[in-house]
Amino acid sequence: MRRRVDRDARLQRERSLRSGQGALARRARRRLVRTQRLRDAAFRRRAWHAAGRRRRRSERPSRDRRRLHTVDPDRRTASRVSDRRSLGDRRDARRGPLGTPEHHRGDRTLRIAVTGAAGFLASHVADVLLDRGYDVQVVDIRPPHPDIAGRPRLSYKSADLTDRASLDRAFAGCDAVCHLAGVGDVYLAGKEPATAALLNVVGTANVAEAAIGAGAKRLVYASTWEVYGEPKYQPIDEEHPCRPDHPYNITKHAGERIALAIGALRELPTIALRLGTAFGPRMRPNSVFSIFIDRALRGEPITIQGTGAQSRQFTHARDIAAGFALAAESPLPSGVFNLVADESVSVRQLAEMVVARIATTLTFAPGRAGEIAPALVANARVKAALGWTPRAVFAEGLDEMIAIARRQQGASQ
């Protein structure tokens, strides 16, 4: 009771002070303003957390739909207590030896759209999704890559990133969208920046809106680690400021931001994967790997632009594709993740490894604009959040590419 009387007396003194003049009155009024601001901030925090809890509850599948995998009716009554395997062992057993669960929504298999599947990376994403049991709708202005064309459960829809109506038709019936189409070539983006802006920014906005119109539950966007620009500290984590300075990384960063913004406004969970420099089968002929290997096989010297000190965490296409599959399956809200390999290799080291496997010589030429300085990129967040682990060993991936190039060279002779 006394505490209440003291509080009432204190409030009365505050009111009388605030209504007066002088330094004490001004301090009292400032205290009132600070108190109100703190209360408002606390209210906003509580509202924000409550909205997040409601959103997570709404995204959580109902009890009868949480089991997405085919269940043997004869085993339904088996006691869970009798299964003493670890969680990891049970998950691996459910997915099979290659991690290939059967995904269903009601009576149908889940369908994921993959844009850009006529090209290098997206064709690997389609491959991995098919291996994991999904129906895959490849979306591109060209037919799918020959290595995946004709696979069961794969369908093709022609669409243009600048034509929203064609994207609406292509995404119809899709449960998620993996967006990899656009200008992915640094030098092409520098040569045609307007085209890069149109496809990487406007095209991405069209993809996000078409995904929402189709009722998709998730969008996964292919960004790049190069959006960070010149590193301010290393290793570069996802909190590092983005200062892109070339038409390629500027437009990729703008595409990332527009996808995340539309997702936030329209409640479409969106994950942007900032990819490491990709390598593997089906690479473009103008990639540094293809150029080095082809020149060496023809007996020509390998030319390094600049000093060759530029280091890259070259990430195998199949590891990147696995990251897209995990992001599409993830219940996480929107976010940004660095998807890069652990191993860092310089361009000169790459050239020397090719020379060690195919006898040739090295030469040097002036560097080209658009090159990012050597950098080490952190990947701890994606490992913790998505359970992603890069599996490819760089030297083995290079051997695989050389073997493919030898076969292709022999077939063409």
Please give the torsion angle defined by the CA atoms of residues 174, 270, 373 and 342, in that order, rounded to the nearest 10 degrees.
-80
Looking at residue 87, its pLDDT comes to: 32
Q: Is 317 helix (H, G, I), strand (E, B) or coil?
A: helix
Helix H or strand E encompassing 127? helix 120-131
* Structural contact between residues 377 and 320, judged by C-beta atoms closer than 8 angstroms: no
Structure tokens at 109: 């298999």
Q: Is 284 helix (H, G, I), strand (E, B) or coil?
A: coil
* Structural contact between residues 157 and 139, judged by C-beta atoms closer than 8 angstroms: yes
* Structural contact between residues 361 and 355, judged by C-beta atoms closer than 8 angstroms: yes
Looking at residue 90, its pLDDT comes to: 35
> Does the reported pTM lie above 0.95?
no
Q: How do the pLDDT tens digits run along the chain, 413 residues long?
A: 555 556 666 656 666 655 666 777 777 677 766 776 776 677 667 767 776 776 766 665 544 433 333 333 333 333 333 333 333 333 333 333 223 344 555 556 899 999 999 999 999 999 999 999 999 999 999 999 999 999 999 999 999 999 999 999 999 999 999 999 999 999 999 999 999 999 999 999 999 999 999 999 999 999 999 999 999 999 999 999 999 999 999 999 999 999 999 999 999 999 999 999 999 999 988 888 999 999 999 999 999 988 888 889 999 999 999 999 999 999 999 999 999 999 999 999 999 999 999 988 998 888 766 566 678 999 999 999 999 999 999 999 999 999 999 998 776 65
Strand ranges in 120-207 using DSSP code E only, listed in sequence order: 135-140, 154-158, 176-179
The DSSP result for 14-62, as a single string, is HHHHHTS-SHHHHHHHHHHHHHHHHHHHHHHHHHHHHHHHHHHHHHSPP
Looking at residue 15, its pLDDT comes to: 62
- 3-state DSSP percent of the chain in helix, strand and coil, to 5: 50, 15, 35
Residue 88 CA to residue 78 CA, distance in Å, equals: 19
Task: Give, as one character, the DSSP assignment of residue 126.
Answer: H
Q: 25 exposed, middle or buried (CB, 10 Å; 0-12, 13-18, 19+)?
A: middle
CA distances from 331 to 101, 162, 261 (A): 16, 30, 19
Contacts of 376 (CB under 8 A, 6+ apart): 234, 235, 236, 311, 313, 344
Q: State the amino acid at position 227 in one-letter form.
A: V
Residue identified by tokens 């998505």 is 386
Helix H or strand E encompassing 152? none
Residue 109 CA to residue 68 CA, distance in Å, equals: 10
Residues in the chain: 413
* Cα diameter, the chain: 100
Residue ranges of domains in the chain, CATH in brackets: 88-282+314-342+376-392 (3.40.50.720)
Structure tokens at 170: 């292509």
Q: 303 exposed, middle or buried (CB, 10 Å; 0-12, 13-18, 19+)?
A: middle
Looking at residue 285, its pLDDT comes to: 86
Half-sphere exposure for 240 (CA within 13 Å, toward CB): 25
Task: Give, as one character, the DSSP assignment of residue 172.
Answer: T
Structure tokens at 127: 């491959």
Structure tokens at 181: 């189409």
Task: Report the DSSP beta bridge partners of residue 271.
Answer: 220, 335
Contacts of 266 (CB under 8 A, 6+ apart): 208, 209, 212
Looking at residue 100, its pLDDT comes to: 39
Neighbours of 373 (CB within 10 A): 10
Looking at residue 359, its pLDDT comes to: 83
The DSSP result for 196-230, as a single string, is HHIIIIIHHHHHHHHHHHTT-S-EEEEEEGGGG-S
Task: Report the DSSP beta bridge partners of residue 139.
Answer: 115, 157
Residue 137 CA to residue 145 CA, distance in Å, equals: 13
Half-sphere exposure for 23 (CA within 13 Å, toward CB): 0
